[in-house]
Structure 1
Amino acid sequence: MLILAIDTASVFCTTGLVSKNQLLAKASKNIGKRHAEYLMGQIIAVMDEARKDLSDIDRISVNIGPGSFTGVRVGVSAARGLALALDKPAIGISTFEALAFETAKHYKNRPITIVLEAHRGALYIQDFDTNNHAIHPPRIDTAEAIATTLSETTILPGSGTHKIAQQVFRPLTDTTPIADIETYALLAARKKTFGKLVPLYMRAPDAKPQASFTLPRA
């Protein structure tokens, strides 16, 4: 199965091509909020590097957020357009799912709380049990409130971990703030059913979406 994975939920624009759990090609660039300018060209470059055509793709995986409102919108729009043009499924994977999956590979049988920056003093949160199953839907909370509910064994991946460190008096496990692009592909490969592809917006955008983003004709 050949999977094109897209992650535009942060300042990085990242694309990867994965087949049978093997990364064939990858491109990543810190472009701020200019995802619309780079994404389609980056996808073509990755396909060329792997010597594959768009028609070879079996599934498309995309980070649906939370993250940059503009970036998530661009990534989801691209995935939808490609899925329509290629008649292939596009599968949304949240930042929470990807980080929890990646963390669980290194910390077996440990509860995981994903903590993401939400700006304005808040954090995006989702808790996962020792079997890496989500305990509840994502929520917005404060560092102070989160710190009071943590167990001694909880692993805290994500971009907002440093804010929790200011509230608890114990060292926090060093984990990555951004999941590898391969993780989004691997999770998409495991999906048996595909729901509607929609962004995971947990609050109103701080900026207007890029109006210049358009998909090339197939």
Structure 2
Amino acid sequence: MDVSIPRILSIETAAGCGSVALTRGGVQNGRLIAEAAVHAETSHSRQLLGSVEWVMQAAGISWSDLDAIAVSIGPGSFTGLRIGLAAAKGMVFATGKPLIAMPTLDAVALSCPLIDCPLWCIMDARKQEVYAACYGADRQQTSLAEAIRPELLAEKIAPPAVIAGPGLTAYHHLFAHIAGVRLIPPTLSSLSAAKIGLLAAERLARGELADPALTVPLYVRPSEAEVNLKKKGGCPHGA
């Protein structure tokens, strides 16, 4: 097996429509071998594993052929992230393969051309907010992901800049009027497990592995249950 061109099984369930993919290689030399769509928020973990089995069979490879398992860790749908990460951890513990944890918005950044100005990647966070993070010319994150109201983000972005990601589907009108800011259509900057896999190959080459026992979803903001508990003046068990 040529580990310089790794085979990676990846899971992306941060958005409503997720996917499972098998890729070979990294950002520069990689390719998609097989991919299947999953509805991240309604699929039980067994259905997700069924998609994994289909991808493996379609590619004609076994678990021993894999070099790593990658998963999108957020931000995104709380339910989707929990299901995806739980499935990835289960496969890691069962196979002994390394785990690569990828920030979700990195996959959006990969969809965009290399540019010489800030790139803002956004996803719909519901509750009239977006998840957003800024990237530099090398597609490296320059700001931590945050949940923010889109109108506040519009005030925060200084031109020249580019905005991309599925969050533009709902909030295109808030950013379209900003002079010096270019918008990349959501259809050209979507999320996919394939992009997670290609990015994960770069981390694998650098030895940036995640500890399955310590890896948790990147929620960015508290869950509804945590908010309600705080309003009641309580605290989680064990806190």
Instruction: Give, as a single letter, the amino acid of the residue that structure 1 aligns with 2:51.
Output: Q
What CA distance in whole angstroms lies between the structure 2 residues aligned with 1:60 and 1:78?
A: 10
- Residues 115 and 13 (structure 1 numbering): CA distance in 2 closer, same or farther, change over 3 Å? closer
Shift of 1:107: 4.2
Query: Does the CA-based 8 Å contact 2:98-2:210 persist in structure 1?
Result: no
SS in 2 for 1:156: strand
- 2:209 maps to what in 1? 194
Query: Does the CA-based 8 Å contact 1:17-1:47 persist in structure 2?
Result: yes
Query: Does the CA-based 8 Å contact 1:92-1:198 persist in structure 2?
Result: no
1:160 maps to 2:156: no
Query: Does the CA-based 8 Å contact 2:123-2:165 persist in structure 1?
Result: yes
RMSD over aligned CA atoms reads 2.1
Shift of 1:155: 1.5
Deviates more, 1:72-81 or 1:22-31: 22-31
What CA distance in whole angstroms lies between the structure 1 residues aligned with 2:216 and 2:61?
A: 27
1:8 maps to 2:13: yes
Query: Does the CA-based 8 Å contact 2:72-2:196 persist in structure 1?
Result: yes
Q: Give the TM-score of the pair, scaled to structure 2.
A: 0.77
**How is 1:37-52 mapped onto 2 (pairs within 5 angstroms)?**
37-52=46-61
CA deviation profile, 1:4-59 (whole Å, cap 9, x unmatched): 01111222241111123122211114464224242101111111111111221110
Instruction: Give, as a single letter, the amino acid of the residue that structure 1 aligns with 2:199.
Output: L
**Structure 1 stretches lacking a partner, 5+ long:** 208-218
- 1:61 maps to what in 2? 70
- 1:101 maps to what in 2? 110
- 1:204 maps to what in 2? 222
- Residues 108 and 35 (structure 1 numbering): CA distance in 2 closer, same or farther, change over 3 Å? farther
**Structure 2 stretches lacking a partner, 5+ long:** 1-5, 226-239
Instruction: Give, as a single letter, the amino acid of the residue that structure 2 aligns with 1:80.
Output: K
Aligned-pair identity (%): 28
Q: Give the TM-score of the pair, scaled to structure 1.
A: 0.84
Query: Does the CA-based 8 Å contact 2:20-2:38 persist in structure 1?
Result: no
Deviates more, 1:11-20 or 1:29-38: 29-38
What CA distance in whole angstroms lies between the structure 1 residues aligned with 2:132 and 2:49?
A: 31
Instruction: Give, as a single letter, the amino acid of the residue that structure 2 aligns with 1:154.
Output: A
Deviates more, 1:187-196 or 1:29-38: 29-38
SS in 2 for 1:198: coil
